[in-house]
Structure 1
Amino acid sequence: MLSAPTLTRLASLAAFLNTAPGLRGGQPADERFTAATQLPSLVPELQEDEVRLRLAAAAAVRGRELRGRLAEVWALAAVDEAAAVERVNALLAAAGPLRLTAGGDVVGLAPAQVPADAVERLAAMAALALAETAMDGELVRLRVCEGEDCENALVDASRNRSKRFCDEANCANRTHVRSYRARLAEAAEAAPATDPAGPEEAEAPEAVADEAAPADKPRQETEKEKKERKKAEKKAEKKARKKAEKKAGKKKSDKKKD
């Protein structure tokens, strides 16, 4: 898993990428990076160490060029790691010589020369953050929102690398709703069509079949009914036998009296 500072820097880079014109959370967006003076608010890390930012009119143009190079890394990170690493190497080369820095218990890399302005500082920060991400085998965490109508860059900070949608405009929910409606439409098309003649006429063939069936056709006796019938017959036979024996005994008694 990436370190917290690196994840923070990557999230800032994603926010910078999302200033480009394009589809953002289902809505078309215009260019939002028009002046280099916007960089400190877009990327708070640029204000570290109270660096005085010297801004020139051309810095905005260089900032958009840098944004394009970063967008290439994001587009390749999850599908072609080797190509993404090449783009990161180009960013590192542009950052110039590096040196080790120590702060507290952390040792890291930083440009050997102080960047001239905010764009150079952002380029160096991006190169180092992306290099650390690549060395940790975590470039796959740099993704583009899978929303059908969204092109936002995002950083997947989940433990199982399962984040697929950005958080800007509820893209995940909109995608799930769209998929659900598509499944309903598909199910409706697959269901049998209702007879236009109406339910009464649709049931007519069954009624005709019932009328055509012979009324006196004997129904086959079930096994249970057969057992009950035999039991009743035996009971009736036994009762009749007792009645006959009783009657015969009475006749004999009458003869003796005579």
Structure 2
Amino acid sequence: MTDTTPTHILITGARRGIGKAAATRLRESGARLACHATRHDEGIAIAGDFDRAGAARDTWRQALDLLDGRVDVLVNNAGIFEASPIERDDEVWRDDFERTLRINLTAAAELCRLAVRHFREQGGGRIVNVASRAAYRGDSPDHWHYAASKGGMVAMTKTIARGYAAESILAFAICPGFTMTGMADDYLESRGGEQLLRDIPLGRVATPEEVSETIRFCALDAPPSMTGAVIDINGASFVR
């Protein structure tokens, strides 16, 4: 984006980890941000739980208010990673599955829909969806729902890219492997730590700064012909 006007960006899940690092990186690049998280914290202007019906719509409206009625880029980063063993009670397991899909996929889809409609009116825009290596490789037996939600996010991104490129609406998906965030720390410990790292040829997990720089690139600098791209950041632990 070469215009001297600051790019207006809505980023979800910006309180910690990848989202916080991305928000910092985007601000450093001169963008104006509306940052969302589940609760107010330093730098978080919009609080909303995507498990609640209508929260995504409310987030979008608040972002427009904060950004003078214009959003140029949507970054969907909000998500949960909660174990749900198949031994759980049927209703509990189903509720776990549906909660993860509501937060990780349905809310992102609602925001993408609102963004596409807005971008059509203003002549274009960008969507950056933070998915996961799990979209292609799958995840642990306790995380069917997480893998399904991220696979859906990748498919949705490709569909948006193909459907609206002619209207200058671009869409990108980013698929990190393990990243050194709070969620990944807990998971690494539960899965054996060093043993799991042996599955990563690079020998370490990604840093939030590495993922945030990729988000910044897609949000601000990626050439239009890259629309529909899915970018892996996993230390060669899964190569497509």
TM-score range (shorter-chain normalised) is: under 0.3
Normalising by structure 2, we get a TM-score of 0.24
More strand by share: 2
More helix by share: 1
Normalising by structure 1, we get a TM-score of 0.23
Rg comparison, structure with higher value: 1
